[in-house]
Structure 1
């Protein structure tokens, strides 16, 4: 069975709004929820400031302090930190080589392909046993 991630329409819409507001730069944020087997359910998200120095049109960076805060938030709210969402301005919603180098096991990576007026496509990815990205089924209601 293909791994699956469920995101409410409201949360996905907020992620898309974030991607559009940060265009032409990449946006970034965390999302939280619960995982059960091959199914993750996103119940909350938290936008972040892209802390990448210099050109943010092709890269994002998460401040280590923001990561620690996210872990603490998840723990204190009985949630799991499920992954990171980010945008690919004027590029497909598929992971880049840079995304692969930065990826960690278990996390899901939601990527929104965005231009100056709309989000073209949104996908989700997770590392497999061979340390390669495998697409997850992204379900939204």
Structure 2
């Protein structure tokens, strides 16, 4: 069972994720999102870009040193891993069979996928299981008064 029901990401941090995807295109990018969980909501407070050692347009392999640095920074900042993010430069923001097969986090972290296949980038979040996936609730916090968690 997932540790939270809704993933909330500030618009600026989602913009940073999209910028990372665009900068690494046509290769996939990857990274981690961390924050705090309260009342069934995981609120993103930090982004940790990770090098893609696969250097591929269709898969990613997280750089081990970058992952170690990210988890160290999370621990020091009192943050929890909320999501793994990566891009799909030419396909929809839906988990691939490879994404599901290589998921080592179970449902302890959501997966945010940014697609660059359309004229405007599209981001969606997912819970991956051993055999499939289901969409996670994703909210982008624009900081306006109508955004309540």
When normalised by structure 1's length, the TM-score is 0.87
Counterparts of 1:31 and 1:39 in 2: how far apart (Å)? 14
Check conservation: 1:93, 1:123, Cα contact below 8 A. yes
Larger % of strand: which? 1
Residue 100 of structure 1 deviates from its aligned partner by 0.5
Map of 2:145 onto structure 1: none
Q: Considering only aligned residues, what root-mean-square deviation do their CA atoms show, in Å?
A: 1.9
Map of 1:100 onto structure 2: 100
- 1:13-92 to structure 2, matched below 5 A, reads 13-36=15-38, 38-52=40-54, 56-92=56-92
Counterparts of 2:128 and 2:59 in 1: how far apart (Å)? 19
Instruction: Flag as ranges the 4+ runs of structure 1 deviating above 4 A.
Output: none
Map of 1:110 onto structure 2: 112
Check conservation: 1:33, 1:41, Cα contact below 8 A. yes
Check conservation: 1:4, 1:38, Cα contact below 8 A. yes
Check conservation: 2:33, 2:46, Cα contact below 8 A. yes
Cα distance change of structure 1 residues 116 and 138 upon mapping to structure 2, 3 Å threshold: closer
In structure 1, stretches of 5+ residues that fail to align are none
* Count of aligned residue pairs for this structure pair: 136
